[in-house]
Chain A
């Protein structure tokens, strides 16, 4: 059984935001408009956090793409009263939209704030409504949603490989964010396979986990900046 993970090279991230756009397009994440976004209703399953260091004019800008860390010991899972948030065998924090009743407890428990609530039924500005992904279900008002590591792509590729009676090749599965990243800062793969690129990057001495001391054991490794 694979264990999916990701490595994020902060040295490569330029903060362009292509991952955010790709994620919205792939996962049918509704855009809420400027007004609602200002009120904290935007749903960016992946976001590029910007941190400034130093005083003007010696300012350094750092980027950190943050998505669901797919924790092995996820705080969001035990608190859900209906098992909408649960752990899959391949190490994903699955969110079953149809089972969610919207207590939002998972979002409070999440230290990374990567869970988003649907405050309204989804809608898109034209012509975005014509580009919905048929592989991803829409979420109705009142449920939580979050990054799935593009589970629809994982499933499709795994099923295809099984039909062809072969293992899934490293790099064959790419979430939308990793695929769209022009600098290849995001690397996705199987952490159980010691030879996969994500495994090698995760073992690097530059690697660390986000808020590691909370003991959530994330599946995402951040590679520290060297410059």
Chain B
């Protein structure tokens, strides 16, 4: 296979950005945490925002592809792998942040329950420990969920390659020979994983929301945070998936596999999630307003019409108005429209997490201890470079693994007519499987 210079350039540029972020983190460890903008009393900032954001993005894959698999949506076939890859990489990025943000990251292993000579265990009452278990479970599950349907594809690549490549893919294919027994087992395992991963995905972001809702901080202690975070996570996940699909389609020339109907269908999902998100935000605000608790109202007005208002209303436009207009009007529900709406949602969801964390922490109960957070270069570099890390890992992955599931697409060509979902007028699904 021929690799163009563009690939190397892309890897070099994005690899360079990731390397810069690594240097920035090392400088933070070496010079002291004071190089960040974290301060009394705003002790969480860009890092925790990025943590919640990326864990949210990770809901792209698993949840979407698991649900689409379970309902046997025929159009899912070229989409699932793009989605599952996002999950694994976004989780890897997200899971780094609790370590990056630690005061003493070299002691992060104290979160692991291991028998030590001091007989001290992690504090199982702490939501951070729940995070640790939830994210590890989710990561393990989604790696399995990604890997299982890759096995037959690895076998295809194995059979078509030679030399070192052949040996590598032979190892990855785990002795796949395509016997009926193996197929049966694969299908069973996929079915089990698809069912098991959905509650795990839902619980992960609920637990991430517990990091906030378990602390007596104004505007944090609310029961809506669980579903609100999960909805937001799926929302941003779909947006990330749409962007990834559009980029793959454009640069890998996958027009034959990723059709406008895929974007249209996911666009409708995005629209639904935008409405759901809008409801949750409205609900959260309404309950706070009617509760009229002084400390909460101070934070409420701070975001609604004081210093954080520009960010707040940008978030509302990006997350609600933009997707509603672009995805709600059929004429705009094109690939370009989907990508524009998705970029809006990604920006809006990042802002949402920031606006949950920082205004509350800077405005707790005692007016004497109010504070303003200003992010410093090291945090901006690290938070920004995670996007480069995502692109880098995605590019490398697409280089070595078929990004469109070969066998699932083939299997889709011969599915019984009863399983094909109803076609829309302008997108007869017959076109998908010529």
**Among A49, A79, A102, A117, contact of B40 (Cβ-Cβ < 8 Å):** A117
- Chain A interface residue count: which class? 35 or more
Per the bound structure, the CA–CA distance linking A88 and B107 in Å amounts to: 24
Per the bound structure, the CA–CA distance linking A83 and B364 in Å amounts to: 24
Contact B102 A103 (CB under 8 A): yes
Contact A101 B366 (CB under 8 A): no
Contact A101 B108 (CB under 8 A): yes
Give every chain A residue within 8 A of B366 (Cβ-Cβ). 49, 66, 111-113, 210-211
Most buried by A among B129, B361, B364: B364
Q: Which of A78-101 contact B (CB under 8 A)?
A: 78-83, 99-101
Contact A105 B126 (CB under 8 A): yes
**Quick check: is B214 within 8 A (CB to CB) of the other chain?**
yes
Contact B38 A214 (CB under 8 A): no
Q: Which of A39-47, A157-165, A201-209 contacts the other chain?
A: A39-47
Q: Count the A-B residue pairs with Cβ separation under 8 angstroms: how many?
A: 141
Given A79-B128, A80-B123, A81-B111: A104 in contact with B44 (beta carbons within 8 A): yes
Give every chain B residue within 8 A of A109 (Cβ-Cβ). 215-217
**Quick check: is B41 within 8 A (CB to CB) of the other chain?**
yes
**Quick check: is B43 within 8 A (CB to CB) of the other chain?**
yes
Could you give, for residues 19-39 of chain B, a 1 whenever the CB lies within 8 Å of some chain A CB and a 0 otherwise? 000000000000011100011
Per DSSP, chain B at the interface is loop
Give every chain B residue within 8 A of A41 (Cβ-Cβ). 34, 39-40
Per DSSP, chain A at the interface is loop
Q: Give the size of the chain B interface in residues (CB under 8 angstroms).
A: 42
Give every chain B residue within 8 A of A117 (Cβ-Cβ). 33, 38, 40, 43, 103
**Quick check: is A17 within 8 A (CB to CB) of the other chain?**
no
Per the bound structure, the CA–CA distance linking A24 and B128 in Å amounts to: 31
**Among B32, B123, B215, contact of A120 (Cβ-Cβ < 8 Å):** B32
Q: Which of B126-158 contact A (CB under 8 A)?
A: 126-129, 132
Can you list 11 pairs linking A and B with CB atoms under 8 Å apart? A42-B40, A64-B368, A81-B110, A99-B120, A103-B103, A113-B364, A141-B33, A142-B103, A143-B103, A211-B366, A216-B216
Known: A51-B367, A112-B366, A119-B34. 16 other contacts (CB 8 A): A40-B39, A40-B42, A49-B369, A64-B368, A66-B366, A79-B126, A79-B127, A82-B111, A83-B120, A101-B105, A105-B126, A111-B364, A111-B365, A112-B369, A142-B33, A214-B365
